[in-house]
Structure 1
Amino acid sequence: MINNNVSQSNINMGKAADSQPINSQSKLSSSVPPSPVSKSSYPLNNTIGLEKGQIIQGEVVDLRSNEVSVKLEDGRILTGKLEDGNHLAIGENVTFQVEEVSLKSLSLKILSESQAVLKDTTIDKALEAAGFSKNNKNRGIVKSLLNQQMPIDKNTIGLLIKQSIAFKDTPIDTLVFMNKYHIPVTKENIDSLKSLSNSEQNILNHIAELTNEIPNLLEELSNRSYGEIITKGNELLNIILQNSSLNDFMENKEITLTSFDTFSASGVSSVNRDLPPLSLDSVYLNNTILSSNERLELTRFLEADPSAKSLFSEKLLEGIIDGTANMKEVAELLKEAFPSGSFQDNNNLMRDKIQSSIQHVLSAFEALQNNDPVNLINEYLTDADRIHLLQNLDGFSLPEEVNDQIQSGNISTNELLKWIQNKLSTTPESSIRRLFSSKEYKTLMKEELISKWTLTPNSLTKEGIVDDYYENLAKQLTDIKGFISSSFQGSQENLQGQAGHLQDNISFMNQINEFFTYFQLPIKLKEQVANSKLFVYTRKKERRTAEEGISVLLHLDMEHLGPLDIHVDLHNKNLVSRFYINDNDTSNLISSNMPLLEAALERKGYSLNAEVLIREKDMNIVEEFTKQEENTSFVPRYNFDIRA
Structure 2
Amino acid sequence: MNLAGLFQPQYGNKGSGSRSGSVRAPISVTASGNYQTQQVIKNLSPGQTIQGEIVNRNGNEVQIRVDKDVIITARLDKDISLAVGQNVTFEVKNQSGQQLALRPLYENLSQNPNVLKALEAAKLPLTDELMRMVSSMMEQGMSIDKNALLDMGKLISAHSGVNPETIVGLRSLYLPVTPENIEQFENYQNYRHQIVSSVTEFLSELPSAFQTMVAQGQAEGAVNFYKQVLQLFAESSMQGETQNAMQNAVQNNEAGKVIFADAGRPAGGMQEEAQAAGKESVLNAAQNQAEGRMTESIIRIIDGEGDAKAVNADGTAVGKGADTMASQERVSAQGGNLQNYTPLFEVLNQDARNTLFNLLEGIGFSKQQLSQVADGSMPVKQLLQDINTMLTVNAEAVSRESVINLFGSRVYNQLLNNEVLQQWLLKPSDVGQKNTVEDFYGKLREQSARLTEALGQISKDIPLAKNLSTMQSNIEFMNQLNQAFNYIQLPLKMSGGNAHGDLYVYTNRRNAPKEDESVSALLHLDMQHLGTMDIYVKMKEKNVSTKFYLKDEQTIDFIADHIHILNERLSERGYTMNVEMVMSKEEEKGMDVMETMSAQEKRENILAQYSFDVRA
Tell me the TM-score normalised to structure 2 length: 0.60
**Given that residues 147 and 629 in structure 1 are in contact (C-alpha distance below 8 angstroms), is that contact kept between their aligned partners in structure 2?**
no
**Given that residues 491 and 500 in structure 2 are in contact (C-alpha distance below 8 angstroms), is that contact kept between their aligned partners in structure 1?**
yes
The residue identity in structure 2 corresponding to 1:405 is Q
Aligned-partner Cα distance in 2 for 1:519–1:263? 25
**Given that residues 193 and 474 in structure 2 are in contact (C-alpha distance below 8 angstroms), is that contact kept between their aligned partners in structure 1?**
no
The answer for the alignment partner of 1:560 in structure 2 is 529
Match of 1:238 among 223, 231, 236: 231
The residue identity in structure 2 corresponding to 1:620 is D
Aligned-partner Cα distance in 2 for 1:260–1:126? 57
CA drift at 1:582: 2.4
CA drift at 1:74: 8.1
2:418 aligned with 1:451: no
Task: For residue 574 of structure 2, give the secondary structure of its aligned residue in structure 1.
Answer: coil
Aligned-partner Cα distance in 2 for 1:480–1:135? 46
Change (3 A) 1:131 1:327: same
The answer for the alignment partner of 1:578 in structure 2 is 547
Aligned-partner Cα distance in 1 for 2:370–2:513? 54
Aligned-partner Cα distance in 2 for 1:420–1:594? 45
Match of 2:466 among 497, 501, 512: 497
Task: For residue 548 of structure 1, give the secondary structure of its aligned residue in structure 2.
Answer: coil
Match of 2:142 among 133, 137, 150: 150
**Given that residues 485 and 509 in structure 2 are in contact (C-alpha distance below 8 angstroms), is that contact kept between their aligned partners in structure 1?**
yes
Task: For residue 152 of structure 1, give the secondary structure of its aligned residue in structure 2.
Answer: coil
Task: For residue 435 of structure 1, give the secondary structure of its aligned residue in structure 2.
Answer: helix
| Alpha-carbon displacement from aligned partner over 1:61-111 (angstroms, at most 9, x marks no partner) | xxxxxxxxxxx99899xxxxxxxxxxxxxxxxxxxxxxxxx9xxxxxxxxx
The answer for the alignment partner of 1:610 in structure 2 is 579
**Given that residues 562 and 582 in structure 1 are in contact (C-alpha distance below 8 angstroms), is that contact kept between their aligned partners in structure 2?**
yes
The residue identity in structure 1 corresponding to 2:444 is L
2:188 aligned with 1:196: yes
Aligned-partner Cα distance in 2 for 1:475–1:182? 26
Task: For residue 393 of structure 1, give the secondary structure of its aligned residue in structure 2.
Answer: helix
**Given that residues 397 and 423 in structure 1 are in contact (C-alpha distance below 8 angstroms), is that contact kept between their aligned partners in structure 2?**
yes
The answer for the alignment partner of 1:86 in structure 2 is none
Match of 2:378 among 399, 411, 430: 411
Match of 1:390 among 354, 357, 361: 357
2:185 aligned with 1:177: no
Change (3 A) 1:571 1:474: same
What is the root-mean-square deviation in Å for CA atoms of aligned residues? Answer: 4.5
The residue identity in structure 1 corresponding to 2:494 is L
Change (3 A) 1:516 1:207: same
Task: For residue 488 of structure 2, give the secondary structure of its aligned residue in structure 1.
Answer: strand
**Given that residues 222 and 436 in structure 1 are in contact (C-alpha distance below 8 angstroms), is that contact kept between their aligned partners in structure 2?**
no
Tell me the TM-score normalised to structure 1 length: 0.57
The answer for the alignment partner of 2:408 in structure 1 is 437
Change (3 A) 1:261 1:176: closer
**Given that residues 531 and 551 in structure 2 are in contact (C-alpha distance below 8 angstroms), is that contact kept between their aligned partners in structure 1?**
yes
The residue identity in structure 1 corresponding to 2:415 is L
2:595 aligned with 1:628: no
Aligned-partner Cα distance in 1 for 2:544–2:475? 31
Match of 2:500 among 525, 531, 538: 531
Structure number with greater Rg is 1
**Given that residues 520 and 534 in structure 1 are in contact (C-alpha distance below 8 angstroms), is that contact kept between their aligned partners in structure 2?**
yes
| Alpha-carbon displacement from aligned partner over 1:117-145 (angstroms, at most 9, x marks no partner) | xx978666544533457899877654543
| Alpha-carbon displacement from aligned partner over 1:26-52 (angstroms, at most 9, x marks no partner) | xxxxxxxxxxxxxxxxxxxxxxxxxxx
- Correspondences of 1:54-93 after superposition (within 5 Å): none
2:451 aligned with 1:480: yes
The answer for the alignment partner of 2:70 in structure 1 is none
Task: For residue 496 of structure 2, give the secondary structure of its aligned residue in structure 1.
Answer: coil
- Correspondences of 1:356-371 after superposition (within 5 Å): 368=337
CA drift at 1:188: 4.1
- Correspondences of 1:28-177 after superposition (within 5 Å): 126-131=118-123, 141-142=133-134, 144-160=136-152, 170=163, 172=165, 174-177=166-169
Aligned-partner Cα distance in 2 for 1:124–1:328? 72
The residue identity in structure 1 corresponding to 2:432 is T
The residue identity in structure 2 corresponding to 1:422 is T
The answer for the alignment partner of 1:211 in structure 2 is 203
CA drift at 1:515: 1.3
Give the total of aligned pairs: 434
Task: For residue 445 of structure 2, give the secondary structure of its aligned residue in structure 1.
Answer: helix
Aligned-partner Cα distance in 2 for 1:171–1:137? 6
The residue identity in structure 1 corresponding to 2:573 is K
**Given that residues 247 and 435 in structure 2 are in contact (C-alpha distance below 8 angstroms), is that contact kept between their aligned partners in structure 1?**
no
| Alpha-carbon displacement from aligned partner over 1:310-337 (angstroms, at most 9, x marks no partner) | xxxxxxxxxxxxxxx97966999xxxxx
The answer for the alignment partner of 1:461 in structure 2 is 432
Change (3 A) 1:257 1:555: closer
**Given that residues 172 and 601 in structure 2 are in contact (C-alpha distance below 8 angstroms), is that contact kept between their aligned partners in structure 1?**
no
Aligned-partner Cα distance in 1 for 2:221–2:602? 60
Aligned-partner Cα distance in 1 for 2:204–2:364? 29
| Alpha-carbon displacement from aligned partner over 1:331-370 (angstroms, at most 9, x marks no partner) | 99xxxxxxxxxxxxxxxxxxxxxxxxxxxx9xx99x955x
The answer for the alignment partner of 1:304 in structure 2 is none
Match of 2:369 among 402, 422, 425: 402
Aligned-partner Cα distance in 2 for 1:171–1:147? 13
CA drift at 1:566: 1.2
**Given that residues 160 and 176 in structure 1 are in contact (C-alpha distance below 8 angstroms), is that contact kept between their aligned partners in structure 2?**
yes
**Given that residues 215 and 443 in structure 1 are in contact (C-alpha distance below 8 angstroms), is that contact kept between their aligned partners in structure 2?**
no
**Given that residues 199 and 557 in structure 1 are in contact (C-alpha distance below 8 angstroms), is that contact kept between their aligned partners in structure 2?**
no
The residue identity in structure 1 corresponding to 2:538 is D
| Alpha-carbon displacement from aligned partner over 1:424-483 (angstroms, at most 9, x marks no partner) | 226542543432232111111222122121111222233243332222212211211222
**Given that residues 223 and 404 in structure 2 are in contact (C-alpha distance below 8 angstroms), is that contact kept between their aligned partners in structure 1?**
no
Aligned-partner Cα distance in 2 for 1:74–1:379? 70
The answer for the alignment partner of 1:549 in structure 2 is 518
CA drift at 1:564: 1.4
The answer for the alignment partner of 2:538 in structure 1 is 569
**Given that residues 406 and 412 in structure 2 are in contact (C-alpha distance below 8 angstroms), is that contact kept between their aligned partners in structure 1?**
yes
Identity among equivalent positions (%) equals 27
CA drift at 1:387: 2.1
Change (3 A) 1:627 1:259: closer
Change (3 A) 1:244 1:457: closer
| Alpha-carbon displacement from aligned partner over 1:144-193 (angstroms, at most 9, x marks no partner) | 43453422112323455676686777373x43231234434455423311
Aligned-partner Cα distance in 1 for 2:501–2:192? 12
Task: For residue 530 of structure 1, give the secondary structure of its aligned residue in structure 2.
Answer: strand
Match of 1:509 among 478, 490, 498: 478
The residue identity in structure 2 corresponding to 1:630 is K
The answer for the alignment partner of 1:642 in structure 2 is 614
| Alpha-carbon displacement from aligned partner over 1:486-540 (angstroms, at most 9, x marks no partner) | 2x345x6322122111111111221111111222121112231211111111212
Aligned-partner Cα distance in 2 for 1:480–1:177? 32
The answer for the alignment partner of 2:3 in structure 1 is none
